[in-house]
């Protein structure tokens, strides 16, 4: 079991890729925290528990700083630390009505870009002493690319700097899927 004694947080774990990843972490021995903006993540937690895994649920809108900070603090406590953060929460703008596009576009950026930043901001402190990994999942429009994924990649590629106390990078491992 590759994730035995590890804590994994999956945002957007109510369905699709997020649910599949949460369940895969659990099958590999991780204690899993499912984080979604609504209570739909409870079904994923129930499925993990039915399969013999350990899972907890913490509601949080990833675009709301206080909710993210609280959910990750609770997850760290419940899991015994955070070793993996899978930022999977996301949305796409499908509205083509001009007067609604700006509002939907702003919400998309809040969730897909700001949400990833906030989750990383509050998860990294739990990973600094023992290490950890952050994985980002993005939706891509094959015709237009994905501005949010470019923004997150730019954020993660910044000079990570050295942590003089620990003698290593101040950022955990980052992967993009």
Contacts of 44 (CB under 8 A, 6+ apart): 13, 14, 15, 18, 19, 22, 23, 34, 55, 57
Token pair listed for 58: 């913490």
pTM (whole model) above 0.85: no
Token pair listed for 73: 């603090």
Domains and CATH numbers, the chain: 7-157+169-176 (3.40.50.720)
pLDDT on residue 157:
52
CA–CA dist 100, 148 (Å, integer): 19
Measure the CA angle with vertex 21, ends 153 and 72; round to 5°: 70
Element (H or E) spanning 88, and its range?
A: none
Residue 13 contacts residue 35 (beta carbons within 8 Å):
yes
Per-residue pLDDT of the chain (177 residues; tens, 9 = 90+): 899 999 999 999 999 999 999 999 999 999 999 999 999 999 999 999 999 999 999 999 999 999 999 999 999 999 999 999 999 988 877 766 666 677 777 888 888 889 999 999 999 999 998 899 998 887 655 444 455 555 555 555 544 444 444 333 344 444 444
């Amino acid at each position: 079991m590759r994730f035995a004694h590890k804590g994994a947080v999956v945002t957007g774990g109510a369905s699709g890729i997020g649910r599949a990843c949460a369940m895969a972490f659990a099958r590999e021995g991780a204690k899993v925290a499912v984080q979604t903006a609504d209570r739909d993540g409870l079904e994923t937690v129930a499925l993990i528990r039915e399969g013999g895994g350990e899972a907890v649920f913490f509601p949080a809108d990833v675009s709301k700083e206080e909710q993210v900070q609280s959910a990750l603090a609770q997850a760290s406590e419940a899991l015994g630390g955070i070793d993996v953060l899978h930022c999977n929460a996301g949305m796409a703008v499908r509205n083509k009505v001009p007067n609604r596009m700006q509002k939907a576009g702003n919400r998309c950026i809040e969730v897909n870009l700001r949400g990833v930043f906030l989750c990383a901001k509050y998860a990294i402190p739990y990973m600094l002493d023992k290490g950890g990994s952050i994985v980002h999942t993005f939706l891509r429009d094959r015709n237009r690319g994905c501005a949010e994924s470019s923004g997150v990649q730019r954020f993660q590629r910044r000079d990570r700097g050295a942590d003089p106390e620990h003698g290593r990078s101040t950022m955990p491992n980052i992967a993009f899927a």
